[in-house]
Amino acid sequence: MLWLLVIVVLVVIFFVSLYNTMIGKKNNVNNTFASIDTLLKKRYDLIPNLVSTVQQYMEHERGTLTEITELRAKAISGNVNENQRVGLENKMNKLLGNIMVAVENYPQLKANENFMQLQRSMNEIEEQISAARRAYNATVTDYNNAVEMFPTNAMASVMKLATRNLFEIPEAQRENVDVKKLFNQK
Amino acid sequence: MKTLEELGNYYNTVLMPELIKLEEQRKQVLKKVCLVNGIVLVVFIAILILLFVIKVPIQAIFFGGFIAAAVIVGIYKWLTSAYVKNFKSGVIENIIHFIDDHLNYARDAYVPSSDFMKSKIFSQHPDRHQGDDYVTGLVGKTRIEFSEIHSEYETRDSKGRSTWHTIFKGLFFIGDFNKHFKGVTVVLPDTAERLFGGFGNFLQKMNVSRGQLIKLEDPVFEKEFVVYGDNQVEARYILSTSLMKRIVDFKKKTGKRVFLSFVGSKIYVAIAFAKDLFEPRVFKTLIDFSQVVEYYQDLELVIGLVEDLNLNLRIWTKE
């Protein structure tokens, strides 16, 4: 009788620990996603500043600047789902990258102290976003492993937990910079 | 980094006169050391024979031998101290200035144990912390300091006999890091994972005293190092993909055990060396280019950290 009780208790402890592991991993994923989100919001705060500093100098880039402003407005409006959000971010990354490259054509702008400060802040934010993305991907990998590997996969299917997608590193950042193309872009 | 040819020129023009002077002194010192220690040795052997004759217990003879060895080492240190002093200001200091003119050198100073502990690389508190050859200054925009360090702790057995254990011996470097951060990130040589593979990884996760285990995506880096920190995102902010690669390359270049940590916007690097660094030779001639190259390479290794880890790159908010 006693040993039966011991086995039951052990089994219960086993399942509780499986359950808690899964919850812990799921929360880690949410947590790191939130840190990306905070950093992206920080970047939105910088964008109006950037646009207003840059637009007096960059006449040829007017179109890109308006596009950036529109994207920002859309992203902070709050009525986009997670997938659309990632799409917007990717587009934003690309446009901001273009602006930073185009700066090379405006020596006056490059010497502007206000702009230099902004450029540093943008670099900082980009570096932090990339770190947060890598942290997110690491926790998602950990979580996905638990969802698919035995014995946690059984618990995951009971809890209806599905694997999550990794944050893709935007195509624009993955490509090697083609310097020739940049110079012909004017 | 300067070429070997430039070092050769420097050796022939600046160092040579110094070395010739020192070589003269070395010969005199060597003579004295041989003479004095020879006398000590003869006296000791005479006493030893005497002790044998009067049949003193063997322990006493061992004890006497121990004292004689200590006396010989003491005399050696005392006789060579002036020579070592001249050597350091004449040769080591000049080589440092040859590498970078803005660096300052203090022969007897070293990185204090408080800074050593601040790095959080070693958790054992030292009971004896010594060192020499302290270098400080600016390399480009980056403030650095480093010195040779020998840090030990003491244990006592049940009979009260003490034993000293080395915590760290080698070069200890502190530099200004080019990004701001608040937490602690420690990068240690990875022994567990190399020995036990996946199980080693499990052991590392259990090592709670170090904080969270941070698994990074660079497989080469992960094989060489294990990273602990208190913030997953911040650790990755510091250890960017390019810095990870640079650290691996640096480790390969040294061929030594390399420990790093990032605390309070500073980077701490400890490179383990078995030999005593930047000490002159007494029993061999000083006028030897290959010896100078060795001093130079050891110094360049640490000073070159600024370039190797790209610490002068200041495109982020930290000026």
For residue A111, what are its two tokens? 């010497």
Outline where chain B has alpha helix (H).
4-10, 16-53, 58-87, 93-99, 113-118, 192-196, 198-206, 219-224, 232-238, 241-254, 289-303, 305-308
- Measuring CA to CA, which residue among B99, B167, B158 is closest to residue B131? B167
Taking an 8 Å cut-off on Cβ atoms, the answer to whether A135 and B233 are in contact is yes
Distance CA A143, CA A134 (A): 14
Kindly report, residue by residue over A90-127, the tens digit of the pLDDT.
Answer: 788 888 888 888 888 888 888 888 888 888 888 889 88
pLDDT at residue B63 in the model:
79
B14: exposed, middle or buried (Cβ count in 10 Å: 0-12, 13-18, 19+):
middle
CA atoms within 13 A on the CB side of B189: 15
Taking an 8 Å cut-off on Cβ atoms, the answer to whether A131 and B316 are in contact is no
**B166 close to B273: Cβ distance less than 8 angstroms:** no
pLDDT at residue B193 in the model:
66
To the nearest whole Å, the CA of A141 is away from the closest chain B CA by 11
Query: Mean pLDDT for chain A?
Result: 84
Taking an 8 Å cut-off on Cβ atoms, the answer to whether B233 and A35 are in contact is yes
Which chain B positions have a beta carbon within 8 Å of A35's beta carbon?
233
Distance CA A39, CA A44 (A): 9
* Ordered per-residue pLDDT tens for chain B, 319 residues: 788 899 999 999 999 999 999 999 999 999 999 998 889 889 888 888 887 788 777 777 777 778 888 888 888 889 899 999 999 998 999 999 999 999 999 999 999 999 999 999 998 899 999 999 999 999 998 999 999 999 999 999 888 888 999 999 999 999 999 999 999 999 999 877 666 666 666 667 666 678 889 989 888 999 999 999 999 999 999 999 899 999 999 999 999 999 999 999 999 999 999 999 999 988 999 899 999 999 999 999 999 999 999 999 888 888 7
Taking an 8 Å cut-off on Cβ atoms, the answer to whether A120 and B215 are in contact is no
To the nearest whole Å, the CA of A5 is away from the closest chain B CA by 30
Which chain B positions have a beta carbon within 8 Å of A120's beta carbon?
315-317
Provide residues of B within 8 Å CB-CB of chain A: 179, 215-217, 232-234, 236-237, 240, 315-317
Which chain B positions have a beta carbon within 8 Å of A146's beta carbon?
none
Please, what's the b/e burial string for B261-296 (b: 16 or more CB within 10 A of its CB; e: otherwise)? bbbeebbbbbbebeeebbbbebeeebeeeebbbebb
To the nearest whole Å, the CA of B172 is away from the closest chain A CA by 28
Residue A61's contacts (CB-CB under 8 Å, 6 or more residues apart) are: A54, A98, A99, A102
Which chain B positions have a beta carbon within 8 Å of A128's beta carbon?
233, 237
For residue A14, what are its two tokens? 């086993």
For the stretch B204-213, contacts whose Cβ atoms lie closer than 8 Å and that sit 24 or more positions apart, written own/partner, are B209/B123, B210/B186, B211/B184, B211/B186
Beta strands B258-263 and B184-189 are antiparallel
Taking an 8 Å cut-off on Cβ atoms, the answer to whether B233 and A131 are in contact is yes
Which chain A positions have a beta carbon within 8 Å of B205's beta carbon?
none
Distance CA A64, CA B44 (A): 90
Residue B105's contacts (CB-CB under 8 Å, 6 or more residues apart) are: B92, B93, B96, B97, B133, B134, B135
Kindly report, residue by residue over A28-49, the tens digit of the pLDDT.
Answer: 998 888 888 888 888 888 888 8
3-state secondary structure of A69: helix
Q: Is the pLDDT of residue A180 over 60?
A: no
Closest residue in A to B232 (Cα–Cα)? A135
Number of residue pairs across A and B with CB atoms under 8 Å? 41
Q: Residue B15 gets which letter from DSSP? A: I
For residue B74, what are its two tokens? 């003491």
Which chain A positions have a beta carbon within 8 Å of B236's beta carbon?
130-132, 134-135
Which chain A positions have a beta carbon within 8 Å of B222's beta carbon?
none
Q: Is the pLDDT of residue A179 over 90?
A: no
pLDDT at residue A181 in the model:
54
Please, what's the b/e burial string for B249-259 (b: 16 or more CB within 10 A of its CB; e: otherwise)? ebbeebeeebb
State whether residue A32 sits within 8 Å of chain B by CB. Answer: yes
Domain locations in chain A as residue ranges: 44-184
Residue A137 amino acid letter: N
pLDDT above 70 covers a percentage of chain A that reads 88
Closest residue in B to A34 (Cα–Cα)? B233
Closest residue in B to A120 (Cα–Cα)? B316
Which chain A positions have a beta carbon within 8 Å of B234's beta carbon?
131
Taking an 8 Å cut-off on Cβ atoms, the answer to whether B240 and A130 are in contact is yes
**A98 close to A60: Cβ distance less than 8 angstroms:** no
Contacting A residues, span 109-138, partner chain B, CB-CB under 8 Å: 119-121, 123-124, 127-128, 130-132, 134-135, 137-138
pLDDT at residue A183 in the model:
54
Among A128, A138, A139, beta carbon nearest to B237: A128
- Measuring CA to CA, which residue among A25, A23, A27, A28 is closest to residue A135? A28
Of the pLDDT bands very low, low, confident and very high (cuts 50, 70, 90), residue A185 is: very low
pLDDT at residue B110 in the model:
96
Q: Is the pLDDT of residue A3 over 80?
A: yes
CA B232 to chain centre: 30
pLDDT at residue A107 in the model:
86
- Find the largest Cα–Cα distance for chain B: 79
Taking an 8 Å cut-off on Cβ atoms, the answer to whether A127 and B232 are in contact is no
Distance CA B94, CA B18 (A): 10
pLDDT at residue B26 in the model:
94
In 10 A of CB B227, how many CB atoms? Answer: 27
Taking an 8 Å cut-off on Cβ atoms, the answer to whether B233 and A124 are in contact is no
pLDDT at residue B120 in the model:
93
pLDDT at residue A147 in the model:
92
In 10 A of CB B177, how many CB atoms? Answer: 19
Which chain B positions have a beta carbon within 8 Å of A131's beta carbon?
233-234, 236-237, 240
Distance CA B6, CA B148 (A): 26
Taking an 8 Å cut-off on Cβ atoms, the answer to whether B240 and A138 are in contact is no
Kindly report, residue by residue over A9-27, the tens digit of the pLDDT.
Answer: 999 999 999 999 999 999 9
